[in-house]
Amino acid sequence: MPKTTDPLVLAFEALDKSPPIHGQPVLLAGPTASGKSALALEIAKQQNRVIINADALQVYDMWQLLSARPSAEETAIVPHFLYGTVSRNLDWSVGHWLRAVTDLLDQHPDPIIVGGTGLYFRALTEGLVQIPPIPIQIRREGDTRLRHAGIDALIGDLDLETRRMIDLANPARVQRAWEVLQATGQGLADWHKQTPAPLLPIDQTTALVLRPDVNWLNKRIDARFEAMIAQGAVEEVLAVLPCWDPHAPWAKAIGAPELIAHVKGHISLADAIAAATLASRQYAKRQRTWFRTRMSEWRGLAC
């Protein structure tokens, strides 16, 4: 039988030579479409572990296809937690996620925590300061200011140290920093100086990050979105059309804004697919940059 050249199989074989330590949590990060959910399932089956989601969009109940949430067949094989459990009208943040993981670790001390949201893993392994809840009126003011004055107006209100700390190209991060300053009178950078000890220090875990070949990953991204369309992604978007809010956290699902534009008659389906796959490739690039700069100590698995 010829030797396989499938990158995911090769990554799994490399992992098999030095498998995750039993009794120790496994952290598995990777860019979108890199196959991390499939790898997590294989590890969970072999080592009798549960799987905990660390993807900020797979938590939402309206996105089965567009978030590439594990299927019912996959979740029946081993227990999966924090998938599709949050409705659009509920607040959800990295703090909510970390508290949920804290409770789950009491019951399942050696799970696989898998996802592509770097901020979740950072909070888990480096700690997260508990900032007071943001009043709804300030959040609405932030939405309005961003919509009418633009991101530069919000950036201009921030303290210099916070500006240096956050991703100024990310409107959600900028608005969050602006809201914290307005609500507490204290900049986000000052809050972060009060960060407590982490829930899971990196040296107490098996920390893995998939580092795929870019061309291979881009082909997978394109093929996966075509499959999403075939499986009913347009119908999934139609179901949320009556309550669509482009500024809501759940509306950040890759492909959702593009398909909304299509079902509203603004662009063709072909143009929506092209725009969504481009957005997904760009998102994967941002993820790879985060993992390279923020997770340099994690064990990389080439695929």
Q: What's the rounded Cα separation, in Å, for the pair 96 and 94?
A: 5
Nearest to 81 by CA among 54, 120, 99, 62: 54
Q: Is residue 15 part of a domain?
A: yes
Are 27 and 125 members of one domain?
yes
In a domain, 60, yes or no: yes
Q: Is residue 204 located within the same domain as residue 83?
A: yes
How would DSSP label each residue in 234-266? HHHHHHHGGG--TTSGGGGSTTHHHHHHHHTTS
pLDDT band at 5 (very low <50, low <70, confident <90, very high): low
List phi, psi (to 5°) of 201.
Answer: -55, 145
pLDDT over 70 at 3, yes or no: no
In the chain, the number of structural domains is 3
CATH number of the CATH domain containing 186: 1.10.20
Stretch 9-20: mean pLDDT: 78
| CATH code for the domain of 251 | 1.10.287.890
Contacts of 300 (CB under 8 A, 6+ apart): 208, 209, 210, 211
Q: How confident is the model at residue 263 (pLDDT cuts 50, 70, 90)?
A: very high
35 and 83 in a single domain? The answer is yes
Give residue 83's domain range: 7-129+199-212+298-302
Classify residue 292: in a domain, yes or no: no
- Region 240-246: what's the mean pLDDT? 95
For residues 3 and 20, give the distance between their C-alpha atoms in angstroms, rounded to a whole number. 24
**What pLDDT sits at residue 1?**
40
What's the rounded mean pLDDT across residues 42-55? 96
